[in-house]
Structure 1
Amino acid sequence: MDTALYLLPVTLGDTPVEKVLPSYNREIILQIRHFIVEDVRSARRFLKKVDRDINIDELTFYPLNKHTSPEAISGYLKPLQEGNSMGVISEAGCPAVADPGADVVAIAQRKNLKVVPLVGPSSIILSVMGSGFNGQSFAFHGYLPIEPGERQKRLKELEQRVYSEHQTQLFIETPYRNNKMLEDILKACRPQTKLCVAANITCEGEYIKTKTVQEWKGHLPDLSKIPCIFLIYK
């Protein structure tokens, strides 16, 4: 294989690897000895899931999160510069998409190092696909403000973009606050605005449902403690 920084998608939950990842990904992973990871423990679990016989002790892990300094990140690429392929592993889904892995990819690009993204599940893309909303123009905003007034203001701003720009708006919440987010959306948005709730994507109990805000009222699912993306459109 080419010497490169490989972006290695992981499963979005306890889904079997073979259900969502090509066999080619496994071939690449087994040839890599240096991994830049969002969380070392979850990365180790994922690699064991890919191949239970993999020797974790022979591998080197470089943690990459919001506390990692730019200087440390730049130093992580030394093995790649010396001719050793490296892999980037996120906590879930695709690295570098709404993920700190983007920082190391940016440095690799500046250093003119080869970057190879591999195929795998992205909850952002899969939720857009399943929503029935505009897939030509959409925006992912991550987490919205926690403070009630600021959150209501932000939701109304995103809804306005739906109508003025014809753009699908996506956002997430910490799983234990999903139910509160759902209630806040119903309070802030117009009755005719469409809301898609996409939860447990690719996992057991997958739930992807689109209704108007008015139709959702009185028929709310329990989204507590499960991964979920919210999408609004007109």
Structure 2
Amino acid sequence: MKEVSRLETQKSFASNQEFGTLYLVPTPIGNLDDMTFRAINILKEVDLIAAEDTRNTAKLLNHFEINTRQESFHEHNSHSKIPELVNKLKTGMTIAQVSDAGMPSISDPGHDLVNACIEQHISVVPLPGANAGITALIASGINPQPFTFYGFLPRKGKEQKDALKELAQKPESLILYEAPHRLKETLKVLATAFSDERQAVLCRELTKRHEEFIRGSFSQLVEWSQETEIRGEFVIIIDGNDHPSVGVIDSENDAVAGLSVREQVDYFVEAGLKVNDAIKKVAKLHDVKKQLIYREYHQLD
């Protein structure tokens, strides 16, 4: 039988702390003026800063005249580094964990460090601050709530396909991250998975001098990407699916089994899809070109 965990309460600022404290300190995603007074003070006061990239964090520390010692902590050394950091915290040291930009634990190994501290009854104190996903969402023009934050899509084909199959059905707005060198290909993949007409916003270089929002359908965004030199980090905000289909592909195959092509298209139209989107879906189910389904549906010779 699985052991039931007991209820635990963390009083972050109790005066009788047995160990040191892990502070999760957000850093600016571009504009250094977004650093909070509290974040600066914590970085000055702690014994050690665990930084994703010490060279990048050094620029921030120098700007605010912070002299606290740094140690490298990133995805490639986290396995060995986490026990070291936990042991230092247990001796009474205070440590601030920072990412290169934004909130710790988002797309970095901070989450594993947090769990290791919780297991050892070490207080974990989060600071509020900059976050690229929420910053992009509130200015996108797309419904800000409810939303799903996903971050970077999987790179492997099957994992990515499975993730997109699920995400395409979600009625809430979606937040994705993407690197500039992968944006063009990712937009093509998203246009196929979500439909050409799904509305989305590309949010580029947030809080920086060249901040930019590109709003439109996926077909328009794909065209824009082919005509533009892609630079900067991107957040992609995607409108939710107002008419999720009955289920994912496996259950859809069962639902339309035995129906003619025309009846299959009509099935998805009745489920809320536009005719062209329904034709694309039937073509995808049968792994054929949509033109074949289009011609058969419209009874063209």
TM-score range, shorter chain: 0.7 to 0.9
Pick 1 or 2: higher relative contact order, CA cutoff 8 A, min separation 6: 1
1:222 maps to 228
Kept in 2, the 8 Å contact 1:7–1:115? The answer is yes
Find out whether 1:183 has 2:192 as its counterpart.
no
Kept in 1, the 8 Å contact 2:178–2:234? The answer is yes
1:84 maps to 93
Give the TM-score taking structure 1 as reference length. Answer: 0.81
Q: What is the rounded CA distance, in whole Å, between the counterparts of 1:125 and 1:167 in structure 2?
A: 14
Alignment of 1:105-116 (within 5 A): 105-116=114-125
Alignment of 1:103-182 (within 5 A): 103-131=112-140, 132-145=142-155, 147=157, 151=160, 154-160=163-169, 162=170, 166-182=171-187
1:206 maps to 211
Kept in 2, the 8 Å contact 1:177–1:224? The answer is no
Residues 99, 217 of structure 1: CA spacing in aligned structure 2 closer, same or farther, 3 A cutoff? closer
Uncovered stretches (5+) of structure 2, i.e. residues with no partner: 1-11, 14-19, 241-301
What is the Cα deviation at residue 206 of structure 1?
A: 1.2
Number of residue pairs matched?
221
What is the Cα deviation at residue 215 of structure 1?
A: 4.6
Residues 72, 213 of structure 1: CA spacing in aligned structure 2 closer, same or farther, 3 A cutoff? closer
1:94 maps to 103
Identity %: 21
2:67 maps to 55
Find out whether 1:12 has 2:29 as its counterpart.
yes
User: Deviation per CA, 1:143-202, whole angstroms, max 9, x where unpaired?
Assistant: 33365x875664344212x2xxx1222222332122232233334432331112111111
Q: What is the rounded CA distance, in whole Å, between the counterparts of 2:176 and 2:128 in structure 1?
A: 23
Q: What is the rounded CA distance, in whole Å, between the counterparts of 1:40 and 1:209 in structure 2?
A: 33
What is the Cα deviation at residue 222 of structure 1?
A: 3.2
Question: How much is the aligned-residue C-alpha RMSD, in angstroms?
Answer: 2.6
Q: What is the rounded CA distance, in whole Å, between the counterparts of 1:41 and 1:217 in structure 2?
A: 35
User: Deviation per CA, 1:55-81, whole angstroms, max 9, x where unpaired?
Assistant: 36xx1x332222225353122123322
Q: What is the rounded CA distance, in whole Å, between the counterparts of 2:147 and 2:165 in structure 1?
A: 19
Residues 154, 85 of structure 1: CA spacing in aligned structure 2 closer, same or farther, 3 A cutoff? closer
What is the Cα deviation at residue 7 of structure 1?
A: 0.9
Kept in 2, the 8 Å contact 1:21–1:119? The answer is no
Q: Which has the higher strand share?
A: 1
Q: What is the rounded CA distance, in whole Å, between the counterparts of 2:106 and 2:234 in structure 1?
A: 16
Residues 66, 209 of structure 1: CA spacing in aligned structure 2 closer, same or farther, 3 A cutoff? same
User: Deviation per CA, 1:94-133, whole angstroms, max 9, x where unpaired?
Assistant: 1112221111111111111111111211112212222223
Q: What is the rounded CA distance, in whole Å, between the counterparts of 2:179 and 2:223 in structure 1?
A: 23
Kept in 2, the 8 Å contact 1:36–1:62? The answer is yes
What is the Cα deviation at residue 93 of structure 1?
A: 0.8
Kept in 2, the 8 Å contact 1:38–1:64? The answer is yes
Q: What is the rounded CA distance, in whole Å, between the counterparts of 1:232 and 1:198 in structure 2?
A: 11
**Structure with bigger gyration radius:** 2
1:45 maps to 59
Over 6 Å off, 4+ runs? none
Q: What is the rounded CA distance, in whole Å, between the counterparts of 1:223 and 1:143 in structure 2?
A: 22
